[in-house]
Amino acid sequence: MNELVFEIKKQISDCFKNSFGEELEAGALKLEKTDKDHKGDLTFVVFPYLRLSKKNPEQTAEILGKYLQEHCMEISKYNVIKGFLNLELSPEFWLKELTSLYEDPDPGQNSSGKGKSVMVEFSSPNTNKPLHLGHVRNITLGYSVSRILEFAGYRVIKANLINDRGIHICKSMLAWQKFGIGETPESAGMKGDHLVGKYYVEFDRHLQEEVKAIQVRVNQNDLSDLNDQVQRQNLIQLLEKLKAESDNEKRKETESEIKTLITRNTQLMSEANEMLRKWESGDAETLKIWEMMNSWVYKGFDETYRRMGVSFDKYYYESNTYLLGKRSVMEGLEMGVFQKDEDGSVWVDLTEEGLDRKILLRADGTSVYMTQDIGTAQMKYDDAHMDHSVYVVGNEQDYHFKVLKLILKKLNKPYADGVYHLSYGMVDLPHGKMKSREGTVVDADELMQSMYQSAKQITMDLGKTEGLAPSELELLYETIAQGALKYFLLKVDPVKRMLFNPEESIDFQGNTGPFIQYTYARIRSILRNTNDSFKVSEKAPLMEVEKELLALLSSFSQKSEQAAIEYNPALIANFIYEVARSFNRLYHEVSILGEQDENIKQNRLAMCSVTSKTIKNGMELLGINVPERM
């Protein structure tokens, strides 16, 4: 179908040259699907080109129609309605297209990435808490993009950068050390990542208690908690500013500044910062706790990844990459790309690029996130020498990755232009935002189990369990649950913020994973009653409802190529939904197994086969399995 569309555009271009003496770029021309109220398969709108033809709409369309019918054998008829040229494709074309798709063992594949390589970094969790719903969107998006790129012929390396160092990690460690009393995943009966996350929340709870206690003393003009004279003076100025402020919004801003300053000067934060300094200096006891708690987390993460059906080719750890980043920063200093301030901190000045100054090393020599990402970028390229490096990270980091790319360019890194930030919107819940420190996130493991229970209940209520063994039912419930969850997250364009509704996601009707899975199972049920080997008959022209489905099926390779170029699984998700919806329309309007004409029956069964392969391939690109029975 794509080749025919290109050929028709070329012939339109030739017609303008031969009939009107005007040059048109074939690739810029648009052919649309004919409105269902008119006869035709493809429509060309002539209005934008009347200044070139110098004729009225009907005359221009008539000249084009005659030319196309003479020069393109696949066009059997045409009709003109004002400035709309409606083209009817020949019955032979449609049967040839069905034969081609039926004989294709892997429909939808394209070769746009052949000979190229790409590393897709996704998940990238912190080791201070379990994976949550936000991570699930990240993981499903990154894994699906990887599958789509592989389908396009790329050599794909799936990478996971583990954020295993920093003050947030030390918070969990310190809380466990102070309040854990030797608790382990085994003694607590908890997954390791859940246990560590428990202490991250515990740290914040104790921190807020300490902050409140200091605030009470500050309100009584007792500033003894602030030993640092500069910090004490800053607090006094903020308190005076608060007294003088009458605007409510500005008062809130000042109150927030006061709380931030107090938090920074709490005993707990002081101990956490000291633990970070010990970690960076290689303190044996600190490293021992760090390694132990990280091992708990990794084991927990692996269980979650297995349930999601996700795997990685490479793991990177910030505890390794930050040192390489520091070396790159020192190289930048020698090159004159970076500058050192009087206090010893190192910065990059991006004001000429319309940004600001960005710190790369603190005055005490410790690194920041940007330092780590510079080192990670280098390590990744040293490992894979890929053409493209895709970072699947939320849109709150848009500025960060803009800065990273500019820094890599300033360092003359050969891979700088290949860096791409696949920015995606946050996931909201019906009851509001998620907050890790307050323990209000939707835990990934609990969410998947809840989806499993919902899938089980709905499947049983619908009576779709007949003839399946207990083990088959368990697999079916899990397949439906994972399909519902992943599809709901992937059908939304990545750039959009989204609201996750578990009940809506698992509905067997509408634009959902279970609806598509059920459609696939329905087709497989039809094909099980046949020998699964058909011969497309030239004696049975296709009906409109059949041509509509076939036109969709033939556009799969174009859609998969577009999804690879745009790193957008939503294009695949919504395409597969349209295929499933179109098939169900066919299923309800015509007979398949009950068709008396054997030629028509063979063609419809061939279309069933193509549709099932297309749905399966498309869902696999989303990381979703489809059940043979349902």
The answer, yes or no, to whether residue 436 has pLDDT greater than 50, is: no
The answer, yes or no, to whether residue 432 has pLDDT greater than 60, is: no
Pull the structure tokens for residue 83: 């400035």
248 in a structural domain: no
The answer, yes or no, to whether residue 156 has pLDDT greater than 80, is: yes
Chain segment 213-235, per-residue pLDDT in tens: 998 888 888 888 777 777 788 88
491 in a structural domain: yes
Pull the structure tokens for residue 537: 């008959």
Angle at 367 between CA 363 and CA 368, to 5 degrees: 105
Average of pLDDT values for 273-283? 91
Chain segment 510-547, per-residue pLDDT in tens: 999 999 999 999 999 999 988 777 889 999 999 999 99
Average of pLDDT values for 363-392? 93
Chain segment 573-623, per-residue pLDDT in tens: 999 999 999 999 999 999 999 999 999 999 999 999 999 999 999 999 999
Handedness of CA 530, 532, 535, 536 (dihedral sign): positive
At residue 225, the 3 state secondary structure works out as coil
Same domain, 464 and 391: no
- Residue 305: domain span: 162-225+266-428
| Range in 262-266, 292-296, 298-302 with the lowest mean pLDDT | 262-266
The answer, yes or no, to whether residue 396 has pLDDT greater than 80, is: yes
> What DSSP assignment string belongs to 363-398?
TTS-B-HHHHHHHHHHHHHHHH--SEEEEEEEGGGH
How far is Cα 45 from Cα 304, in angstroms, rounded to an integer? 52
Contacts of 361 (CB under 8 A, 6+ apart): 326, 329, 345, 346, 367, 368, 371
Contacts of 418 (CB under 8 A, 6+ apart): 386, 387, 388, 389
How far is Cα 402 from Cα 398, in angstroms, rounded to an integer? 6
Q: Of 109, 72, 106, 107, whose CA–CA distance to 92 is shortest?
A: 72
Same domain, 511 and 567: yes
Length of the chain: 630
How far is Cα 219 from Cα 215, in angstroms, rounded to an integer? 6
Average of pLDDT values for 462-477? 88
Same domain, 418 and 451: no
167 in a structural domain: yes
How far is Cα 12 from Cα 8, in angstroms, rounded to an integer? 6
Q: Supply the CATH number for residue 519's domain.
A: 1.10.730.10
For the entire predicted model, the pTM comes to 0.90
Chain segment 166-209, per-residue pLDDT in tens: 899 999 999 999 999 999 999 999 999 999 999 999 999 999 99
Number of other residues whose CB lies within 10 A of the CB of residue 603:
29
pLDDT of 435 reads 47
Residue 437's pLDDT band (cuts 50, 70, 90): very low
How far is Cα 374 from Cα 331, in angstroms, rounded to an integer? 12
Among 398, 428, 458, identify where a domain stops.
428
Handedness of CA 560, 562, 565, 568 (dihedral sign): negative
Residue that the structure tokens 């003894």 belong to: 224
Same domain, 464 and 594: yes
Burial class of residue 167, CB neighbours in 10 A (0-12, 13-18, 19+): middle
Greater model confidence, 381 or 219? 381
pLDDT of 440 reads 54
Total count of domains within the chain: 3
Q: Supply the CATH number for residue 286's domain.
A: 3.40.50.620
Chain segment 124-135, per-residue pLDDT in tens: 999 999 999 999
Chain segment 300-331, per-residue pLDDT in tens: 999 999 999 999 999 999 988 988 999 999 99
Number of other residues whose CB lies within 10 A of the CB of residue 132:
21
pLDDT of 171 reads 96
Among 62, 89, 116, identify where a domain stops.
89
| Percent of the chain at pLDDT exceeding 70 | 98
Q: Of 61, 67, 68, whose CA–CA distance to 85 is shortest?
A: 61
Average of pLDDT values for 120-144? 95
Sheet holding 42-45, edge to edge: 32-33, 42-45, 84-89, 75-81
Same domain, 398 and 473: no
The answer, yes or no, to whether residue 439 has pLDDT greater than 80, is: no
Q: Which helix (H) or strand (E) holds 89?
A: strand 84-89
pLDDT of 431 reads 62
Same domain, 468 and 599: yes
Angle at 285 between CA 279 and CA 289, to 5 degrees: 80
Contacts of 177 (CB under 8 A, 6+ apart): 289
Q: Supply the CATH number for residue 9's domain.
A: 3.30.1360.70
Same domain, 516 and 391: no
Among 89, 118, 135, identify where a domain stops.
89
Q: What is the mean pLDDT of the chain?
A: 93
pLDDT of 219 reads 83
pLDDT of 369 reads 87
